Structure 1
Amino acid sequence: MARTAKQALEELSRPGPHEVLHGDLGLVGLPGLVLTPRSGLGLPAVAFGHGWMQPPQRYRELMRHLASWGIVVAAPATQRGPLASHRLFAADLSTALDVCAGVRLGDGGISVDPERLGVAGHSFGAGCAVLAAAQDERVRAVATLAPAESRPSALAVAGRCRMPALHVAAGRDRLAPSVAHAEPLARAWAGPVTLRTVGKATHLGFTEGRHYSDLLLDGAPERGTRRLARALLTAFFLRHLAGRRDYDVLLSEDVRGCPIDLTRGPLAGAAAR
């Protein structure tokens, strides 16, 4: 029997079938984290960009979740200062993909298919993910959480991005409100695109744990926001990197607290709105 969107959300909110290994990107010269399934050849991989001044550890739950569903995730820990460079961090995301695709991970029993690479990020890291996607022809899918504009402009290069994208905005975001950031980015996207809004989310709702930057930025970690984000990103990357269609209903239908605001193009979701 076909799943409903609610059923798909429930399933993808829970950990997947794979045991997860945690590693250190620093062993190959790039500070950061890498999380993988315990084994698997020809796996998809995603480079994840942290938010402004955030450590990658604040997204460990999301990365572990993706890895439990069979997706390798690498998160550089560079450009974490207040004057961080979008351009350099975008290059680091591409370098993280180089590592995933070019190095046998774990004890050599894990490999990544260079044709199944994606990028994702939160806030600052989301803008950098767009820059990386525009420059790196290997990128097959892009997902952003509360995306913020970048320098150079993510909005300006979105018209060159023809891969599928999922942009998830925060409805109570006072740092990067959707009307000024996620929505224009989605409308400028050249490829299939979906924009959704987590209505009760704040800018930091996608993070976990405590950090001194909580005193400087808007919002706080939110369990419900993270639950929606990990289910949506898992469905999106399973579809566009792993070729799995069994959770497409979650990409094409509204779910409580996170409706579809805009969708356009094949494989983006439901009919254009």
Structure 2
Amino acid sequence: MKRPLPILLFISFLLLAGCRQELADCPPVVSVPRSSLNGRISTDSPIQFPLDEYAVLGPFEASSSSGVFENKRHAAEDLEASPGTAVYAIADGEISFSGKAGGYGWLIIIDHPQTNTYSLYGHLSPSRWHRGTGPVAKGDLIAYIGDSDENGSSIKYGEMTPHLHFGIRQGQRTDYPKNGDWRWMAGWTTACPSEIGWLQPSQFILNYETMSQQNWQAPAGAGWRRYLFPGLLAVWFTAVAANGYRLYRNKKRNLQGEK
């Protein structure tokens, strides 16, 4: 039986298919000038900006035409900030992840069950104080902006100007997979970020009173994608093992025939 090898090649095709694609055509995003942000949120509001000064350096759904992010869209807003700048929780919630992450330096995720969303804070400093997992309240200090030598800069990603990568997404972190375009910590995606649950952070905060009333849910497809990549890997290794066992049996049979 020589089926495992064709199966292996077919799975390889599935894993490699779509590795490169054209830039997604996304709906236009309403940009928010810096003057529209500071001072617009009441201190009594259940939400706030993550920085004392909120200036957008990299817009939501902006595209990249070169490098590792070629033909991808930005799933967050990059906020101008110098190393050591304090970063605050935007709302009450639960820190479900606090740790090092490739390309991010230190990364923090806060789940907000009250709106069924989560917020993402990347390029934080691993060397400075940062909050661990557990409950957090709006305005709590959670970390500081990292220096360029610790904020995720590398040969792969290049040297990054210190900034906060700030994202907000429908659903909770565990609604999404660990790998692929839908992964919960995605910074850039091949799909339109708004089509896979990401929200424009500044618009969400500025329009919180109305946007928080919406029944936010993780987009259809997030659930099965949590198991797609592990499932493909399981099939892959099963096919490799089966093919290896077949070769072993054939070799053993040939040796016995020579005796």
Query: TM-score range, shorter-chain basis?
Result: 0.3 to 0.5
What TM-score comes out, normalization by structure 2 length?
0.33
Greater relative contact order, per chain length (Cα 8 Å cut-off, separation 6+): 2
Of structures 1 and 2, the larger Rg is shown by 2
As a proportion of its length, which structure holds more helix?
A: 1
